[in-house]
Structure 1
C-alpha cells in the first residue's frame, strides 16, 4: 500500500461495539494510518462528518443506538459527507439476504463480513484506496456532475493497457454516466457492444434501462424477464419491471413486482412509498396498512423520519378498518389511536400536526359512530383548503365524504390534480389515484361499510336487483373483499333462481367467482361458497 496515501488519509471508524473499535483502530495503526477518529453511534458519526472530510469510513451495518448503517450511509451520501472520492466500507456479523440486497443497492466500496483479520482488512483497504487513487479524476468530475470531463477521463483509462484490471469497473461507470446524461441511444449502443464481448449482468441491466429510455419497452421487458430469475439482478429487474408496468397502466402487475422488491430490500423507503400508493390505487387496504407499518419500522430515526410517517400508518389503519365489519374494525381503530399517541410523544409541540391529527380523529369518531364529535372536529378545519400536503388533502377529502360532505370532498379532490408526488413513478400513480377517488366519490355517496350494510338490508327485503347494485358498488371500493363477494354471489344466485341474469349481472357473477377462487377463505366462508355453487349448479337453464 502506498505509504504516502496511508499517512495522509483521514479515517473514521463507526461501530457501537468497544472491542470492534479497539481491533479496527489497532489494525489501522499497524498498517500505518495515523489520523483515526472513532464514532460509537450514527449521530456521533454525522457530527464528525460535518467537521471533517474523511478519506476512509469503516462503518458497522448493525448500529443499534439510533439508526442503522444503511440509513446512516444514505444520509451521509444525501448530505455530501460521503462523496465518490471517499472510500466507504461496511462491516457486519450478519450476511442475510435482505442485508446483502441493501448493501448492493447502496453500492459501498466494499463489504467485510465479521469476524475478519487485520490482514484481510489491510488487503481490502489496499484495493479500495489504490482504485480510488487511480480513478480520482473520474470520481472528482462525477462529484461535480461534470459528465463530459468524467467521460474524457474514463476513455483515457480504457486506452491505458496498464489499467486493464480496472476496465470492468470503468466500463460500468461509463454506462452509468451515459444513462445519467439520458443519452439513451449512445448508452444502448455502448451496453450492446459490452455484452457482445462479455455478458456482464450489470450491462444487461443497463441495456434494459437504455431501452426503457428509448421507449423500446418490449425489448427491455424481454431482458428484464430473464434478469428477474438471477439472484444478482433480481432486485434491479423487479424495480424496472415495476416501472414498465406503471408506464403501461398495468398497476396490479407493477404492485406485484414492487412488493417482491420490498421483500428483498425493505429499507428502501422510496420504494415502500410506491408500494403504498399502488396498494391504495388497487383498494388493497390490508396491504396498504401492512406497508405503512413496515415503512415506519425501517424509517424511524432515519432522514425519512417525520410526523407524517405516523399519520400515514394511522390513516391506513382507518382506511382498512372502514372495510371491516364493526366487530373487527374496533381493534384496528385502536391501533390507529396508538399511532397518534406515539406521534404526539415523539414530536411534542409540533404545530403543523394539530389540524392533521384533528382530521384523523374525526375519521376515528366516524368509525365509532360518533357523528356529532366527528363533524365538530371536521368543521374546525373545513375551510383550510390551501394548507397541508397532498396526503393531508386526501385524508381531509375522505373525512368530508364519510361525514356526508360529498360536494366538498369531490371539489377538494379535483383541486389536487396540480399537486405532484415526490418522484415520477409515484406522481403517475398518485395522479391516477386522485382521479379515481374523485370519480368514486362522485358516483358513490357512501362509505364501503355503509354500502355493504345497505346491500344487506335490501337483500333481506328481497329487493335483489338493488341489493346486487349496492354490493357491486361496495366491491368497486373493496375489490379484494371476500365477504362482500360472497354476499353478492348469494344475491346473484337468488336472482338467478327467479330469472335469467342480465349481462351486467352475469359479469358480476364471474367477478365474484374470480375473487373467491383466488382469495384465502375461512372454513366458514368456504362452506358457504361451496353451498352457493351447488345451488347454482342445480338451477335449470331455461330452454329457448
Structure 2
C-alpha cells in the first residue's frame, strides 16, 4: 500500500459540492496536504510555486481555461515533473474530450460519477507505477537521457512487467539524444514481441527523423488503420507528405485529424498555414478562426494566429466578394490583435499592410486610403514602421 500521508496533492475543481466530496476522499486515503484551486489560472500559480505528487483536475472548470488547456499549458511550460501523477476528472465521455485530453498525456482519467473505492484503486495503481519509475522520471526531469536509459534497464530486470513502459521511454530517450538507429532497434524489437501502437508510432517517427519518408509513411498509415483515433499519427503523416511535396494530401490528412480532435490549437494553426500556402483561403480562414477562438485561453496564444486569420480573409477577398460575416470576422480579429499591436511595432506594421490589402482586394480604395492614413499616424507616433512607397503609389493609382 502507498502511504499517501507523505504526499502532497492539488485538487482543481470549480464545483463546490464536487470539491468537498473529492477532498474528503483524498483525506480518507491519508492525504494530509491538499491544496485547492477553483480555476485553471489559480492552479497554474500554485503549480509554479509548489511540487505536487498528485494533480487531480476536473475537465470543466467554468469560464477561462478548461482542463485540457490547463494540461496543455503545464506540459508546455514544464510546471509539473515526470514524478507527479496527473489524473483528469470528467463528466464527459465525448471523443472530442477524450482525444483532446489524451494528446497531452495525463497519467489517467476517471469519469464522474465515481466511487471512493474506484478512485482509490485508480490512484494506487498510478502512484505505484510512478514510485517504481521514480529514478527514471527524476533523470527525465533533469533531461539526463543517458541516465534514464540506464535506470530503465535496471527496472526491467527488477520489474519485468514494466518492460513495455521502459522500452517506450528508452526509445524516446534515444530520439532525444539523436541516436535514431538505436531508437529504431528498440521499437523494432518491441514490435516483434507484441504489436503495440506506441512501438509502431515510435518506429514510424524514427524513420521520419532518419528522412526515410516512404517507409515512415507506410508505418503511419498502418497505425491509422489499426487505430483511427491515434491522432498524433495523422500529424506525423502530414509531415511526411509535406517532406515529399505532397501538400494537398497533407491537407486532407490534417482535416481528418481535426475532425477527430478539434480542440488542438497547434493542429488548427498547422492546417491554416498549409492552406494559406496552397491559397485555399476558405479553409485557411476557417482554421485560423478556430485557432483565434482557442487562443484566448491557450499558452500558444500569439499575434501570428490573428495576423494569419486576417491574411486568409484578405486572400478570400482577392478571389471573390467576401460575405458580411467574413467582413465582421476581419473587424473582430482586428480588435483582438490590438493588445499585440500596441506592444509590437512589427505586428502593428503587418496589421496595417494586411488591412490595406484587404480593402484593395475588395476594390474599396476609399477605405484603403483611410487605412493608410491611420498607418501614417501610427508611424508618426512611433507605433509602426514607415509605410512603403509601394503602398502610396498603389493607392494613388487606385484613387
Superposed displacement of residue 350, structure 1: 4.7
The 5 Å alignment of 1:335-414 reads: 335-344=329-338, 350=343, 352=345, 354-367=348-361, 369-375=363-369, 377-378=371-372, 404=394
2: CA distance between counterparts of 1:362 and 1:186?
53
Classify 1:21/1:330 alpha carbon distance in 2 versus 1 (closer, same or farther; 3 Å): closer
The one-character-per-residue Cα deviations of 1:403-437 (angstroms, maximum 9, x if unpaired) are: 738xxxxxxxxxxxxxxxxxxxxxxxxxxxxxxxx
Superposed displacement of residue 306, structure 1: 4.1
Classify 1:33/1:98 alpha carbon distance in 2 versus 1 (closer, same or farther; 3 Å): same
Superposed displacement of residue 246, structure 1: 0.7
Report whether the alignment pairs 1:141 with 2:133: no
Classify 1:17/1:319 alpha carbon distance in 2 versus 1 (closer, same or farther; 3 Å): same
Kept in 2, the 8 Å contact 1:16–1:40? The answer is yes
The one-character-per-residue Cα deviations of 1:278-305 (angstroms, maximum 9, x if unpaired) are: 1011111100100011111222122123
- Runs of 5+ consecutive residues of structure 1 not aligned to the other structure: 406-445, 447-544
The one-character-per-residue Cα deviations of 1:84-127 (angstroms, maximum 9, x if unpaired) are: 11111101111111222122211111111111111111111111
Q: Secondary structure at the match of 2:226?
A: coil
Please name the residue that 1:290 is paired with.
Answer: 286
Which of 248, 254, 258 aligns to 1:252? It is: 248
Kept in 2, the 8 Å contact 1:321–1:329? The answer is no
1: CA distance between counterparts of 2:38 and 2:119?
20
Kept in 1, the 8 Å contact 2:317–2:358? The answer is no
Larger radius of gyration: 1
The one-character-per-residue Cα deviations of 1:441-483 (angstroms, maximum 9, x if unpaired) are: xxxxx9xxxxxxxxxxxxxxxxxxxxxxxxxxxxxxxxxxxxx
The 5 Å alignment of 1:315-354 reads: 315-325=311-321, 328-344=322-338, 350=343, 352=345, 354=348
Superposed displacement of residue 359, structure 1: 3.0
Please name the residue that 1:236 is paired with.
Answer: 232
Q: Secondary structure at the match of 1:322?
A: helix
Superposed displacement of residue 243, structure 1: 0.8
Q: Secondary structure at the match of 1:64?
A: coil
Classify 1:93/1:373 alpha carbon distance in 2 versus 1 (closer, same or farther; 3 Å): closer
The 5 Å alignment of 1:44-59 reads: 44-59=42-57
1: CA distance between counterparts of 2:22 and 2:48?
22
2: CA distance between counterparts of 1:117 and 1:56?
18
Please name the residue that 1:528 is paired with.
Answer: none
Tell which deviates more after alignment, 355-364 or 119-128. 355-364
Classify 1:403/1:118 alpha carbon distance in 2 versus 1 (closer, same or farther; 3 Å): farther
Q: Secondary structure at the match of 2:11?
A: strand
2: CA distance between counterparts of 1:164 and 1:103?
29
Please name the residue that 1:8 is paired with.
Answer: 6
The one-character-per-residue Cα deviations of 1:46-102 (angstroms, maximum 9, x if unpaired) are: 111122211110011122221111111121123332111111110111111122212
Please name the residue that 2:151 is paired with.
Answer: 153
The one-character-per-residue Cα deviations of 1:508-529 (angstroms, maximum 9, x if unpaired) are: xxxxxxxxxxxxxxxxxxxxxx
1: CA distance between counterparts of 2:367 and 2:219?
56
Superposed displacement of residue 253, structure 1: 0.8
- Runs of 5+ consecutive residues of structure 2 not aligned to the other structure: none
2: CA distance between counterparts of 1:304 and 1:150?
29
Kept in 1, the 8 Å contact 2:140–2:148? The answer is yes
Please name the residue that 1:184 is paired with.
Answer: 180
TM-score normalised by the chain length of structure 1: 0.66
Superposed displacement of residue 17, structure 1: 1.0
Q: Secondary structure at the match of 2:319?
A: coil
Superposed displacement of residue 230, structure 1: 2.5
1: CA distance between counterparts of 2:104 and 2:96?
12
Classify 1:402/1:250 alpha carbon distance in 2 versus 1 (closer, same or farther; 3 Å): farther
Q: Secondary structure at the match of 1:89?
A: strand
Classify 1:208/1:402 alpha carbon distance in 2 versus 1 (closer, same or farther; 3 Å): farther
Superposed displacement of residue 401, structure 1: 7.5
The one-character-per-residue Cα deviations of 1:320-363 (angstroms, maximum 9, x if unpaired) are: 122113xx44542233113223444x779656454444334323
The 5 Å alignment of 1:450-465 reads: none
Q: Secondary structure at the match of 1:81?
A: coil
Report the aligned-residue RMSD.
Answer: 3.0
